[in-house]
Amino acid sequence: MTEARDLFAPATIGDIPVANRIVMAPMTRNRAPGNLPNALMAEYYGQRASAGLIVTEGTAPAANGRGYIDIPGLYSDAQVEGWRGVADAVHAKGGRIVAQLMHVGRISHPDFQEGAQPVAPSAIAAKGDIFTFEGMKPLATPRALEQAEIDALITAYGDAAANAVKAGLDGVEIHSANGYLPNQFLAPNANQRTDQWGGSVENRARFLIAIVESAVKAIGAGRVGVRISPGNPFNDIADPAAEETYEYVTKALGGRGLAFLHILDARPPFDIAAMARRNFGGPIILNGGYDRDRAQADLASGRADFIAFGSKFISNPDLPARLQKGAELAAPDTATFYGGGAKGYTDYPALAA
Ligand SMILES: Cc1cc2nc3c(=O)[nH]c(=O)nc-3n(C[C@H](O)[C@H](O)[C@H](O)COP(=O)(O)O)c2cc1C
């Protein structure tokens, strides 16, 4: 790579030219009633367009991928129209934005599925509760996906990727982190299938590779990235052989010309960034508790090509300018993270010019 790895220098990520190496991490904000992106969301993302690349909040690629309240989707024409407003708002300010495709699998409840049972690799409930329209409820026991349903989901990821580009978005990030469906397939405690989708690491990774291939076929590898979070126990994920799993996964995702591999570094007992660098071969985004100095250090050492910031972007819409100036950062109000309206969403001011 000839480009200087500096947080504030322009770069390209896959097929996408970006103004800097700062990525806005995907963050669910539960402000899409009817699962439809809207004008308030367009305003929010537009305010944050000085990030080199925005990864949207988790967005369902299929109706049965919904969990939580008021998350957006990318499986209907109305959703495509909604996302067009978001894409236009970000592009008008020179930013770039990809949709995070998030199928929650077993992290759901019939309340989000018109009464139907959530689907997952195996009929094993995750321990925990989920906030529904009627308050907290225990996570439901899912139904194991049938082969035809797995085939339909693989198609759905490709269709959702095509819809993203149709809406004017710059690509997609496949969410295989944080205990959602592709991560459930990878984890032996959530996947006890005895067919080609479970058992060996090759089998457990087969779903992730299949949905990545489906998205690549739809929009091209340079517009498809993948997010992983090895070692993260969130949403009741356990993999005693995570090092072996991710050695395989980072290799299997390599050599395909994918836009990026985005790693939420949950500090597993092995160096996931070094492993990804060795095996993946494309741009690497690192995330998790970064500040400016650690970001610059990881870029300079070659550990990462891009750094994603999450919660800092919630309360600092102009985060890149603040980082560059060494300005003070506003603290986010956690009470308004999930759901509500403009308060705690679009009302954080940028620094006075
Ligand atoms: C309000 C909120 C919502 C989040 N939603 C998502 C999500 O939809 N998809 C995802 O992959 N990660 C999600 N995350 C995790 C962030 O992308 C990121 O990994 C995490 O905040 C750590 O980065 P940070 O220390 O810079 O905040 C969320 C985090 C927060 C704070």
Residues with CB under 6 A from ligand 1: 25-28, 57-58, 100, 102, 175, 177-178, 227, 264, 287-290, 309-312, 337
The residue contributing the CA closest to ligand 1 atom 5 is: 27
In one letter, which amino acid is 277? R
Distance from the first to the final alpha carbon of the chain: 34
pLDDT of residue 2: 45
Q: Which tens digits make up the pLDDT trace of 320-341? A: 999 999 999 999 999 999 999 9
Each residue's pLDDT tens digit, 107-146? 999 999 999 999 999 999 999 999 999 999 999 999 999 9
Confidence band for 4, pLDDT divided at 50, 70 and 90: low
- Report DSSP state, residue 126: P
Model pLDDT for residues 268-317, shown as the tens digit of each residue: 999 999 999 999 999 999 999 999 999 999 999 999 999 999 999 999 99
1 band by pLDDT with thresholds 50, 70 and 90: very low
Percent of the chain's residues with pLDDT above 90: 98
**Closest ligand 1 atom to Cα of 338:** 1
Atom number in ligand 1 closest to CA 175? 11
What is the share, in percent, of the chain residues with pLDDT greater than 70? Answer: 99
Ligand 1 atom 7: residue of nearest CA: 27
Q: From the candidates 44, 75, 180, 345, give the one annotated as an active-site residue.
A: 180
Ligand 1 pocket test, pick from 7, 27, 348 with the greatest ligand atom count within 8 Å of Cβ, gives 27
CA distances from 246 to 139, 242, 274, 337 (A): 27, 6, 12, 31
Identify whether 180 is a catalytic site residue.
yes
Q: Assign domain 11-336 one CATH number from 3.20.20.70, 3.65.10.10, 3.40.50.720, 3.30.70.260.
A: 3.20.20.70
Which residues have CB under 8 Å from 183's CB, separation 6+?
A: 176, 177, 190, 228, 229, 235, 237
pLDDT of 3 > 60? The answer is no
